[in-house]
Amino acid sequence: MECVTNQSKLNKSICFLLATFLVVIIPYSTLTPVAASNSLSIFPPDSEPYGLTYDEHAQNFWKWLLSVPASESPMDDTKGDKCTVGQTNTNSSVFYLGPGEGKIERTCTVPAGKGLLIPVMEVEQSDKEIPGASVEDLTNAAKKDQDGVNSLYLKIDNEEYTYDDLLRYRIQPTEPFQVKFPDNGIFGVVEGGPSQVVADGWYIISEPLTPGNHTVHFRSSLSCPDVGCTEPAFAMDVKNNIIAK
């Protein structure tokens, strides 16, 4: 800022005060961080969030979920009390939200800085649940189940994703992978041990959580009345109130 030399003493005083004001204010405003948006973006399906493909993330999701005994399973948690089971003290970049059945609302505290894996619609088939099944049998069963999906919806904070938006996020049946069931595991597995698994479905991975409150609401349904379907009809409507800190 330049002050002309022929101004009156009053004008010079005003000019000096204004220049001083700008010197103090401009650097301060430059250094003050801008408040981050409360909405989370999601990674595109052909990307590798946190260094892994979507298929690999889906496999890790099932390795986590299938490793938990039925009595502690986040899948059957109706309030959020079990949302962190098997997820504390891990170096994973992703926090897994549990699936469910019917209408559920959960509240869960999640470490800020982690991404979310959101199982909008999912299925797995294992040779623990279908004894003697071949990889082809597991693959066909998983695909047949998910081919019957007829609705998909996701809302993360203020951002909504419709059926058409989410269709491209399906992972076709994965390559077979190994998990270890506990005794008295989910899906009726009584005797634990290693098992071969194939997964299918729609999985979404978010960017890292910013500190604060977030809402993740997903719902989906399917109809598969034919012989060989995992179940003839299924629907879930899960709302997660996330506290990130």
> pTM of the full predicted structure?
0.84
Residue 22 has pLDDT above 80, yes or no: no
Strands annotated E in the chain: 94-96, 102-110, 115-126, 149-156, 159-161, 170-171, 177-181, 193-205, 212-223, 233-244
The predicted-structure confidence for 26-50, as pLDDT tens digits, reads as follows: 332 333 222 334 679 999 999 999 9
Predicted pLDDT at 230: 86
Query: Exposed, middle or buried: residue 23 (CB in 10 Å: 0-12, 13-18, 19+)?
Result: exposed
The predicted-structure confidence for 177-202, as pLDDT tens digits, reads as follows: 999 999 999 999 999 999 999 999 99
pLDDT band at 11 (very low <50, low <70, confident <90, very high): very low
Predicted pLDDT at 122: 98
Nearest by Cα to 100 from 120, 75, 80, 74:
75
> What is the residue extent of each domain of the chain?
49-244
pLDDT band at 229 (very low <50, low <70, confident <90, very high): confident
The DSSP call for residue 191 is: S
The predicted-structure confidence for 63-116, as pLDDT tens digits, reads as follows: 999 999 999 999 999 999 999 999 998 899 999 999 999 999 999 999 999 999
Which one-letter amino acid corresponds to residue 203?
Y
Predicted pLDDT at 39: 76
The DSSP call for residue 204 is: E
Mean pLDDT over each residue of the chain, to the nearest integer: 87
Predicted pLDDT at 38: 60
The DSSP call for residue 183 is: T
